[in-house]
Amino acid sequence: MMSSSRMERRIRVAAAFAMAGLMVELMTLRGSHPTAFLVFALAGAPLVGASILIFLYSLVSVAE
Amino acid sequence: MRRAPSRCWTMISTDTVAVVLFLVSIALAAVLLARPALTLTREGKILAFCGLFLLPILSSAIGLSNHVERSKQTTFCLSCHIMQPYGKSLFVDDPQHLAAAHFLNHRVPADQACYTCHTDYALYGDIRAKWRGLRHVWVQYLGQPPAPEAIRLYTPYNNRECLHCHLGARSFEESPVHSAMRNDLVSNQMSCLTAGCHDTVHDVADLGKMKFWKGAP
């Protein structure tokens, strides 16, 4: 029970990161300026990357 | 007669696919944010795998690919203030101006004019061009950007970039001047931009004295 609630918390954090990252990426997607690319690469992509890592960690930590 | 799909249409459809994918990914992430308990079931785990792993990776990869493609466009390069004189130099009404002659006569694709001449036609040339682009952005925001007329290439312009298109072309091969120095040009021992040959490229310092082509009527 405890591990499932911990997993839920991590899933929630991962989902929040994914939403934030994907929204940033979506907002910069149509931009045709180097700044749009930079925001995509330096803000959006790391947030999405973090969400994926947290999600994978939540799977591994529950398996333990 | 059937018409080939235009680049614009391809670009729009790729963008649309990317936007739809992003919206689906965001919606799935929102569902998981609101109801993380869904992941306790098997279906929920599959949903989480799609929403927090597969789709974000796919969306980001498509987004990155779109950005990389868009960064090849002339409008992208000229969106920086410092590059605007270089954009203006593409309209100089003088066939001796190399960049303008290529751009105005569509010897390079007009929508990818900067990229076509300033990428390396070698292995990893695209990556090197993008890396240099990132360095330019760094200098623009955090460094001391030079005046447009003070901008110089990192290395002397390589003939390989010219010969990528011109070698084997009739206009190049039948020119007695080119034939006489062909080996030196191919081996890059003599630059195409040597004084007296094609030495006027952008010449942004003298733009004030130039006449410009106003465009097709």
Chain A neighbors of B79, CB-CB under 8 A: 32-34
Q: Can you give chain B as a three-state secondary structure string?
A: CCCCCCHHHHHHHHHHHHHHHHHHHHHHHHHHHHCHHHHHCHHHHHHHHHHHHHHHHHHHHHHHHHHHHHCCCHHHHCCCHHHHHHHHHCCECCCCCHHHHHHHCCCCCHHHHHHHHHCCCCCCHHHHHHHHHHHHHHHHHHCCCCCHHHCCCCCCCCHHHHHHHHCCCHHHHCCHHHHHCHHHHHCCCCCCCCCCCCCCCCCHHHHHHCCECCCCC
pLDDT in tens, B101-142: 999 999 999 999 999 998 887 767 777 877 888 888 888 888
**Local confidence band at B1 (pLDDT 50, 70, 90 cut-offs):** very low
Region B82-99: what's the mean pLDDT? 93
% residues pLDDT > 90 (chain A): 64
Region A22-40: what's the mean pLDDT? 91
pLDDT value of residue A55? 94
- Name the pTM for this structure: 0.80
- Pick the most confident of A17-21, B40-44, B71-75: A17-21
pLDDT value of residue B11? 55
pLDDT value of residue B139? 87
Chain A neighbors of B29, CB-CB under 8 A: 15-16, 18-19, 22, 51
**Local confidence band at B7 (pLDDT 50, 70, 90 cut-offs):** low
Contact of B86 with chain A, judged by CB distance below 8 Å, is answered with: no
**Local confidence band at B217 (pLDDT 50, 70, 90 cut-offs):** low
Interface touch B19/A40, C-beta < 8 Å: no
Mean pLDDT of chain B: 88
Complex-level ipTM:
0.90
Interface touch A34/B39, C-beta < 8 Å: no
Range name among B86-95, B137-146, B193-202 with the lowest pLDDT average = B137-146
